[in-house]
Amino acid sequence: MSRPRIRAAVRRACAGERQPTMEELATASAVAVRTLYRLFGSREALLREAGCRPAPDTREVILDAALELVGRQGLADLSMDDLAAAAGVSRATVYRLFPGKSALFGAVVRAYSPWEAIADAIDAMPDGHPDEVMPAVGHAMASALEGRTALLLRIVFELLKGDPDTIEGASRGMARGLPDLVGYLSGQIEAGRLRPMHPIVASQLLAGPIVAHLLTRPLAEPFGGFGPPTNEVVDQIVEAWLRAMAPEGDADARPG
């Protein structure tokens, strides 16, 4: 099914009060879940492209303002009064939604890092083979980070400062996503579908090239006519990862 037909099917599927899951969107579109991830990257991107994304609510407006202020002056020096003013809301509203800086930073991490999108991809195929799941994870990661790599660097920079509110907030923000990926990889390694390796290292082997591509793509494009679409680059990165992570004796058997 073409992208326009998928968008039309998704618009019909999200016409109700509740936004559908990725599995429900795949059923409505008559395509596989992994196809939706390959074409659109994430559920959020698919809904947005189909015109299903609602207008930003107060919470999103505050998070947008918080990200800007944290990137400018850091979390430790962030004034909740300044945040309220930048978001155009009352101080009481800020504290009602985010009761403290750690809660605020945790919400920023959830909103602007790729972990939620990765968790959604794994939830859609919890028992799937790595050949099916990891391409979806790679595309979800790339879609969530594209145009946001500078924001990711801001978040990492804040973490390196070691502020207690930042550390606590980050642990909240990554409570879903990283544990899901580590758990999935651990299960696949134990099942013999992937070569033995610490799952954190295995996840870094996938994330590193994707982040590096997104960071350096603007620098590479003026040289040598580099212009393959990001989704094609992600396909190549994931294929290389699957070859590297194949159990001993299986790597040479994988198709090119």
pLDDT tens digits, 89-125: 899 999 999 988 888 888 888 887 788 889 999 998 9
Q: Would you state the pLDDT for residue 254?
A: 52
Q: Would you state the pLDDT for residue 255?
A: 47
Structural domains of the chain, with CATH: 1-54 (1.10.10), 58-99 (1.10.10.60), 114-151+172-256 (1.10.357.10)
67 Cβ contact partners less than 8 Å away, ≥ 6 residues apart? 108, 111, 112, 151, 154
Q: Coil, strand, or helix at residue 226?
A: coil
- Give start and end residues of each alpha helix (H) in 176-250: 178-190, 199-220, 230-245
pLDDT in tens, 140-191: 999 888 877 777 777 777 777 777 877 887 787 777 888 999 999 999 999 9
Nearest to 151 by CA among 66, 238, 60: 66
Note the pTM of the prediction, 2 decimals.
Answer: 0.74
**Considering the chain, what is the average pLDDT of its residues?**
85
183 Cβ contact partners less than 8 Å away, ≥ 6 residues apart? 199
CB 241 within 8 A of CB 134: yes
Say which residue the tokens 């107060």 belong to: 58
Beta strand ranges found along the chain (DSSP E): none
Q: Would you state the pLDDT for residue 163?
A: 78
Q: Would you state the pLDDT for residue 194?
A: 97
How many residues can be counted in the chain? 256
The tokens for 182 are: 């580590």
